[in-house]
Amino acid sequence: MGKSKNTVWNPFKRAFWTKENLFTGKELNNWKDIHQQWQNERQKQENQKNRLEMAGRKIQRAGCALTFLLTFPIVGFALFGLMGLVTGLMVGGILFIAMLSGK
């Protein structure tokens, strides 16, 4: 135990400390508030990261769908003429609708 009521054993320093060196109730509450603010900020950042990832996936899916919508008709027209253009538009349109309606 301590040498007196005003001293406390500090295992990290391997020595006795006076109680004046320890946190008072007000300082301890300040540390708790700081920790709570840190947790809140961290949670906000995680939420923002999740929203950003979801938006990125949506944009990526829309870009892929637009690629299908434009690429198939152009390649079809280049390879097979007008019939390839019509077929490419139908295939590209079906894939475009399927990509936008899917999760």
Domain boundaries, the chain: 24-101
Average pLDDT over residues 44-72: 90
Q: What single DSSP character describes residue 2?
A: -
Strand, helix or coil for residue 23: coil
**Quick check: 74 pLDDT over 60?**
yes
Q: Is the pTM of this model over 0.75?
A: no
**Quick check: 46 pLDDT over 80?**
yes
Determine the pLDDT at residue 37: 92
More confident residue, 103 or 57: 57
Average pLDDT over residues 84-103: 86
Chain centroid, CA 1 distance in Å: 49
Q: Are strands 7-10 and 15-18 parallel, antiparallel or unpaired?
A: antiparallel
